[in-house]
């Protein structure tokens, strides 16, 4: 039986930076289920080993076939950023002997920014800027040499719905999401015909969301209820739902420079 023309991720090589939790982990699961060879990365060995164990337990056939891999890559320090990304790319491609088809980037941290009235110059932590601006640029600089050429290959970054619709009282966060989306559009021009896009999630039930709410379960429940009210669908997104956007952008060889929104209709509320 001939391969399906829609079975586009089978045997492709997918590198996921930030693939150990939340949306990134769900995208790793979706990629494995689509038949891809998956490589995840994390800045910490504990998180990496835990994520690899979960994936190999859930997908024993892929694990047995040696189709699930993981490597450490710290993206938080400007001084070592380029060297660390290059080392990751070398590892993920077996010293550039097995080219990548797709890269997804969901690495993030919790931005702790004050309101506008209390903001001071240099209030934003360097690591926050590095993850959302510098790291995507360095990936764009280095990754094409490790990727198969042409529009079947793609890089997908992660923005935020707040880049299009700021949250009252938290407008400064708009710049963080918008910076990543701007980098993605610029790289789409510079790296063509390799495709570059971004996903702009709304609120998603991830570890980052729970970190923002704090350890109190009642506070988390109340936080989620508040967030539901700003969507048309009256729901907080699930990682496995949002992961479909990344899979789509990997598959559609006719889309580049795009921002795909998956936010429960937040932009229309």
Q: Tell me whether residue 234 is in a domain.
A: no
- Which CATH number characterizes residue 258's domain? 3.40.50.720
The H or E element that residue 110 is part of is none
Identify whether 152 is part of a domain: yes
Q: pLDDT at position 1, please?
A: 43
Are 101 and 158 contacting, i.e. CB atoms less than 8 angstroms apart? no
Helix (H, G, I), strand (E, B) or coil at 195: strand
Domain boundaries, position 182: 13-204+239-268
The answer to the question of residue 7 being in a domain is no
Q: Is 187 inside any structural domain?
A: yes
Angle at 180 between CA 262 and CA 44, to 5 degrees: 90
Asked, for residue 130, whether it belongs to a domain, the answer is yes
Domain count, the chain: 1
Domain-embedded: residue 228: no
Phi-psi bin for 95: left (phi > 0), alpha (psi -120 to 50), beta? left
The predicted pLDDT at position 212 comes to 74
Which tokens go with 159? 């923005």
Q: Which two tokens stand for residue 156?
A: 């997908």
Over the chain (269 residues), the average pLDDT of each successive run of 10 is 81 96 97 98 96 98 98 95 98 98 90 77 77 95 98 97 87 84 97 98 88 82 91 96 98 98 96
- Does some domain include residue 221? no
DSSP 90-153: HHHTTTTTS-BSEEEE----------GGG--TT-S-HHHHIIIIIHHHHHHHHGGGGB--STT-
Q: Which residues pair with 154 in a beta bridge?
A: 102, 195
Is 27 part of a structural domain of the chain?
A: yes
**Contact between 208 and 108 (Cβ < 8 Å):** yes
């Amino acid at each position: 039986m001939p391969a399906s023309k829609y079975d586009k991720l089978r045997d492709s090589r997918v590198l996921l930076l930030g693939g150990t939790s939340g949306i990134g982990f769900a995208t790793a699961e979706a990629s494995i289920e689509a038949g891809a060879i998956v490589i995840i990365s994390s800045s910490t060995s504990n998180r990496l080993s835990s994520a690899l164990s979960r994936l190999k337990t859930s997908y024993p056939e892929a694990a047995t076939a040696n189709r699930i891999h993981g490597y450490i890559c710290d993206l938080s320090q400007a001084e070592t950023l380029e060297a660390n990304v290059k080392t990751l790319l070398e590892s993920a491609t077996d010293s550039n002997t097995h080219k990548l088809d797709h890269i997804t980037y969901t690495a993030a941290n919790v931005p702790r920014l004050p309101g506008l009235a209390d903001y001071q110059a240099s209030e934003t932590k360097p690591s926050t800027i590095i993850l959302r601006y510098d790291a995507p640029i360095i990936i764009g600089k280095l990754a094409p040499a490790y990727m198969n050429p042409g529009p079947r290959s793609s890089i997908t970054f992660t923005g935020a719905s707040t880049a299009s619709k700021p949250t009252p009282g938290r407008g400064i966060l708009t710049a963080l999401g918008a910076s990543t989306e701007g980098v993605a559009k610029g790289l789409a021009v510079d790296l063509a015909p390799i495709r570059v896009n971004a996903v702009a999630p709304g609120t998603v039930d991830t570890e980052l969301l729970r970190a923002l709410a704090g350890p109190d379960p009642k506070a988390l429940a109340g936080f989620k209820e508040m967030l539901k009210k700003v969507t048309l669908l009256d729901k907080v997104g699930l990682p496995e739902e949002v992961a479909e956007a990344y899979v789509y952008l990997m598959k559609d060889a006719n889309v580049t420079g795009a921002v795909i929104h998956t936010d429960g209709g937040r932009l229309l509320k």
